[in-house]
Chains A and B, each alone.
Chain A
Amino acid sequence: MPLAYSELRQRTKARDRSLRDKVMSLEEAAKLVQDGDHLAVGGCTASRTPFAMIWALVRAQKRGLTVSRSIMSTEGDIFYASGLSQHLITSWFSQGIVWGVSKVMRAYTESGRARFEEWSHMAMGLRYRAGAMGVPFLPMRSMLGSDVLGRVSGGSAGPADPAFAAAKTMECPFTGETLLLVPALNPDVAIIHVQRCDPYGNAQLDGLTFMDIDIAMAANKVILTTERVVSNEQIRRQPDQTKIGFFTVDAVVEVPFGCAPHECYGLYEPFYSHMDMYAQMTARDPEAGARDYLERFYHEPKTWADYLSRIGMAELIDAQRRGSAIHDD
């Protein structure tokens, strides 16, 4: 069920939405996430994945989260393997087409130990948008007739899981056509990585914005991680570039290379050698491989800089060189 409107308004009213300095550490920001929360993750596939925040949440041993994202890549594996979540809501989930189907995802979902709740990509977008608009649903014209709908509606086309949020069809009151209504998502917390923002949380995004603007508006708390914290003066010189407004933001954490080993537009591309290494580590025994990976990259490093050191300077420089090359073209 979508969150009741009165509850949504109450939660918003209860937040300190003033223009104030929200800069804090990853560890402090992790305290804003409670066990059992619905966590929405910004970016898409291997782009602007807020890995530093995910790293902090795994280290803080969060449990029972429902996690949603437009498309999930290796962070989805991390959510399952770390025990942070057994319920992911997304439209597509695997490391990436060049690496094939995620073996970690397969291990957890095929054994029934974890859920992968599948909606169409546009449905994910409109669910966040409905949340951002403060309405309980939006109508749309895809998913109809498919088993993707069957699984999330309890219809005849597939084995519906009653725990899934339901989509419903309706006859349009104006035209009589069949439309699909998808329920709003109002995440408890959104984690979004940006190229730069000010201490208040006014964020500028370069390149692809994915669903992040709607996610920030829909969520009841927003944690921004950012490559750089810039002055509020800089933001005010180009207010047309502000994509996420301070009023939605509850925490700002400065984390250079905060998407590693994924991409941050204009700054670094995915760390391909590391992504290949991850795929190899999880190829034969996916669960043991993922556990090893978590140990080496999530638990042993004590700081984000330690994590980056483990990935390696050569990888960092290579990703940065490829990433910044779009400015040379």
Chain B
Amino acid sequence: MTTDSALDAPARIQAPDALPAPDAPPAYTASELLAVMSARLLKEGQTVFAGVGIPLLAAILAQKTRAPGLTILFEGGVIGPFVEAGKLPPSTNEQRCTRRANMLVSITEVLLMLQRGYVDVGFMGGAQIDRFGNLNSSFIGDPAHPKIRLPGTGGGNDIASLADMIVAMKHEKRRFVEKVDFITSPGFLDGGDTRAQAGLPAGGMFRVVTDLGIMGFDAVTKAMTVLALHPGVTAQAIKANTGFDLPVPADAPVTEPPTELELSILRELDPQRLYTA
């Protein structure tokens, strides 16, 4: 995989100079945009704890472009695999996750790597997020009488408790809420230093990547704030799709749109569009 000729290609391929006309259909899906923008946040040499879906795609995309030495961890107990294009695993626990890995360990062992401090970035999706980056993947509605019982934390709580987090999710008002119905995976809890006070001195939310922009968190208040907008997205649009007051700086930069190369790698990875439809 590291000998893939695509590796040295990014420098040769430039982002298009002009944006498509506003009425032209987008050349990529929202999921593809999420995967591309998230992949660009990963750096060569890092160790990334990834969930399946967009995080997995983004991590592999990063491996195939700017970070060939990126070490991916899967909670099934996998350290440093190169997942094969067209053979994406259905979860982080099947044999497809283990291809060309450096090491296989138990689930408990790979999760303890988080606690020991060997993981640079935790990377996952979320059903619901709030102003302080708390994530909910357990209950929609009152947990005592839920409207929807969701699958739960899996390793999400452990990753979010112990690593710097990148979260990739669709930007919708029903997902970006003032307060999550249930804190499955902790962000900055009630903001300020409440996370550390709760016994979580390490890690915390780093970036939230959506189909509208890239968000970070204020150094003191720990509230979410826009860092960059995707091409064609206005400050009003991102605010209108957020269920809390989301600051957008007047000079917020615009991200480079996905390149043909990034999109072609993603489509080769997931030809059946399991995760990018």
Contact = CB atoms under 8 A, between A and B. Distances in A.
B161 A121 contact: no
Contact residues on B (Cβ < 8 Å of other chain), bracket: 35 or more
Contacts of A151: 143
A214 B107 CA distance: 11
Interface string B140-177: 00011111111111111110011000000000000000
B189 interface: yes
A52 interface: no
B95 A269 contact: yes
A159 B182 CA distance: 11
B108 A96 contact: no
Contacts of B149: 101, 105-106, 109-110, 116
B93 A208 contact: yes
Contacts of B155: 91, 120-122
B94 A147 contact: no
B226 interface: no
Given A118-B138, A144-B199, A157 B90 contact: no
Nearest to A128: B108
Interface stretch (A22-30, A55-63, A174-182, A220-228): A174-182
B90 A177 contact: no
A51 interface: no
Interface string A264-284: 011001100000000000000
B50 interface: no
B174 to A, nearest CB: 15
Interface in B114-145: 114-115, 138, 143-145
Given A125-B111, A141-B199, A98 B158 contact: no
Which range contains the number of A residues in contact with the other chain?
A: 35 or more
A211 B75 CA distance: 11
B53 interface: yes
Interface stretch (B17-25, B33-41, B76-84, B230-238): B76-84
Contact of A101 (B97, B98, B105, B151): B151
6 contacts: A91-B152, A92-B154, A96-B90, A146-B183, A148-B183, A209-B105
6 A-B pairs with the lowest CB-CB distances in the bound complex, closest first: A145-B198, A125-B108, A178-B199, A92-B154, A142-B161, A144-B199
Given A146-B185, A265-B98, 5 more contacts: A121-B75, A145-B200, A208-B77, A211-B106, A211-B108
Interface of A: 44-47, 70-71, 73, 90-94, 96-98, 101-102, 105-106, 109-110, 112, 116, 118-123, 125-126, 128-129, 140-148, 151, 157-159, 169, 177-180, 207-214, 263, 265-266, 269-270, 323, 326, 329
Interface of B: 52-53, 75-78, 84, 90-99, 104-108, 111-112, 114-115, 138, 143-158, 161-162, 182-186, 189, 194-195, 198-202, 274-275
